[in-house]
Amino acid sequence: MASIQLKNVVKKYGKGKAELQVIHGVNADIADGEFIVIVGPSGCGKSTLLRMVAGLEEISGGEISIGPRVVNNLEPAERDIAMVFQNYALYPHMSVFENMAYGLKIKKMPMGEIKQRVDKAARILELAHLLDRKPRQLSGGQRQRVAMGRAIVRQPQVFLFDEPLSNLDAKLRAQTRLEIQKLHRELGITSLFVTHDQVEAMTLAQRMIVMNAGVMEQFGTPEEVYHSPASTFVASFIGSPPMNLLKNAPGARAGAIMGIRPEHLDIGSTGWELRVETTELLGAERLIYTRLGDEQVIVRSEEGGPTPAPDSIIHATPREDRVHWFDAASGKRI
């Protein structure tokens, strides 16, 4: 296992007038054994950052260290990492055992040790009864577990996951998230996990890097990112539904944006006068979509009581200790 250090990491494509910078000076110290999620929308640079750590993309500036070694000029095979991709990339003619063992056979490892490693990984991932099957005989979730098993048997210093759950349906994604958490608890290997799904990020991460247009907007625990977002981007991206960001709310500061999460608006007989547009029922709670002047305000309320009708008026008061303020020009937290 090893720590990872990113020092002012930059990525550019092209030269001269055609030069395009896609990663803008990322700095992060990742401790040995941490599970870090890199999250952001499509095209924000999260996979590019992961691929630079893996050595699949050259870095244009800065420094990447894995453990005590600077790895800028090392080939992927020399970095002692294992990567799990969105595409399982299993060999269709090989059994599960053969797929998991293939990389170790290439290294000419003794067969006894190969079997020991594969059997251990299969036990952890509940694949022991599937070792003789071919990939076509497996479900999508089982194939993804085989891909993870192939990485585990290498016993790397670092695991890199590039959107590994994207091809799974919602139920399997939730189940596989639990398996990945269990896997990390058992092995304790430093891990970087890329996803565009903020729910996935919040449930998996010990700390998370929130990326936006090649910039690291925030690096912190899920609790820090959710309760103290560093910018309007983080506030709107993390949380489902996102934080309400209001320029013209009662009590708003000049030149500032007020942020308040839907669950921190209390419905009552006084407060902001909100016109109801629609209501979304989510089992034990509901989301009420309203308008305050020309701005949308989402209110989260618990189940119970009548559902407000469209075009009706409700009143809600923001909790003073839960209000956030952001600079209107830069979007940064005040």
pLDDT at 304 over 80: no
SS3 letters across 10-48: EEEECCHHHCEEEEEEEEEEECCCCEEEEECCCCCCHHH
- Position 279 scores a pLDDT of 95
Which band of pLDDT confidence, cut at 50, 70 and 90, is reported for residue 31?
very high
CB 163 within 8 A of CB 126: no
- Position 244 scores a pLDDT of 97
Half-sphere exposure of 25 (CA within 13 A, CB side): 0
- Position 164 scores a pLDDT of 87
- Position 63 scores a pLDDT of 97
The mean-pLDDT minimum among 195-209, 226-240, 298-312 falls in 298-312
Please give the structure tokens belonging to residue 73: 């000029």
Beta strands 285-292 and 295-302 are: antiparallel
SS3 for 245? strand
**To the nearest whole number, what is the mean pLDDT of the chain?**
93
Domains of the chain: 4-232 (3.40.50.300), 241-327 (2.40.50.140)
Q: Mean pLDDT over residues 229-235, rounded?
A: 97
pLDDT at 212 over 90: yes
How much is the pTM?
Answer: 0.90
Tens digit of each residue's pLDDT (9 = 90 or more) over 257-281: 999 999 999 999 999 999 999 999 9
pLDDT at 251 over 90: no
Which band of pLDDT confidence, cut at 50, 70 and 90, is reported for residue 247?
very high
Please give the structure tokens belonging to residue 242: 């996102």
Tens digit of each residue's pLDDT (9 = 90 or more) over 54-76: 999 999 999 999 999 999 999 99
SS3 for 223? helix
Residues in the chain: 334
Nearest to 151 by CA among 110, 112, 192, 206: 192
